[in-house]
Amino acid sequence: MEKNMDFTDVVTKRHSVRDFKDQPVTQKDLTELIKLAQRAPSWVNSQPWKVYVATGKTLQNIKDTYVQRNSEKGNPDFPVMHRDDWSSETQINMKQWRHEIVHHFENFDEAHEKMSGASTNLYHSPAIIFLTIPKGSSLWSVFDAGSFAQTLMLASKDKGLDTIPTYTSVRFPDVIRQAMEIPDDETLVIGISIDYPKDATINTYQSKREPVENILKFKD
Ligand SMILES: Cc1cc2nc3c(=O)[nH]c(=O)nc-3n(C[C@H](O)[C@H](O)[C@H](O)COP(=O)(O)O)c2cc1C
């Protein structure tokens, strides 16, 4: 893997990549990144996460099954809340993101084709890292899994690899559970695709963030 980057660059340059080169990443490199992610904090150091990495034939079978079931409605372990039920601020941010990503392409048809093609093919990555936590976990463990995921994604960026965490990859948990032999008493949280990015328009979009004043309050 490449040498380390400046930390601020790692944080600001990490962004979701949606079209990978499908260039294999070694088990040794993936293990090194996962070991770094294990440094994430967790409630009383409970470390509720388990990590399952799909590569090779196993990942290809998952991708093939997902293509076959593409028109089916997803049934992820964490329920998906209808957009209208989100807070008004978060709805505005989501609408803004959709608007911007569509306008990043030549026209709506191209945006639709590239975005849906990317998700149908699970972003063409040679590895997906699935995270689970024990079934019936406290919400604190979801927080901990999030810390693990972000540490993993930043560690990856630091070593020259890009990532995307996706609902798409965990929308059929029965497929992932069977392929990865995940026990029934674990909840599938997220799948993180990882690899080197293709030189493609879909990968050059950098999502914006709200002005910090909108989310920050100091009180002396
Ligand atoms: C829990 C979670 C699930 C996500 N699922 C998807 C997904 O299914 N498809 C997708 O294209 N992006 C997915 N994303 C990526 C977000 O769209 C992305 O993180 C957000 O737009 C901010 O952009 P950035 O990651 O490039 O900074 C997901 C992100 C998170 C945190």
For a pocket test of ligand 1, which of 164, 171, 190, 202 has the largest count of ligand atoms closer than 8 A to its C-beta?
A: 164
Atom of ligand 1 nearest to the CA of 118: 11
Residues in the chain, total: 220
119: its two tokens: 């998700």
- 220 Cα to the center of ligand 1, angstroms: 35
- 219 Cα to the center of ligand 1, angstroms: 32
In the chain, domain spans: 7-79+122-202
Q: Which amino acid is at 105?
A: F
Q: What is the pLDDT of residues 61-110, one digit of tens each?
A: 999 999 999 999 999 999 999 999 999 999 999 999 999 999 999 999 99
Q: Reduced to 3 states, what is the DSSP secondary structure of residue 85?
A: helix
| Pick from 52, 201, 62, 180: nearest CA to 122 | 62
For a pocket test of ligand 1, which of 77, 122, 166 has the largest count of ligand atoms closer than 8 A to its C-beta?
A: 166
How far the first Cα of the chain sits from its last, in Å, is: 45
Class level of CATH domain 7-79+122-202: alpha beta
Rounded CA separation 141/160 (Å): 29
Rounded CA separation 189/133 (Å): 7
Q: What is the pLDDT of residues 120-166, one digit of tens each?
A: 999 999 999 999 999 999 999 999 999 999 999 999 999 999 999 99
Give the residue carrying structure tokens 């990590």. 51
Q: Reduced to 3 states, what is the DSSP secondary structure of residue 20?
A: strand
Pocket around ligand 1 at a 6 A CB cut-off? 15-16, 18, 97, 119, 164-168, 190, 207
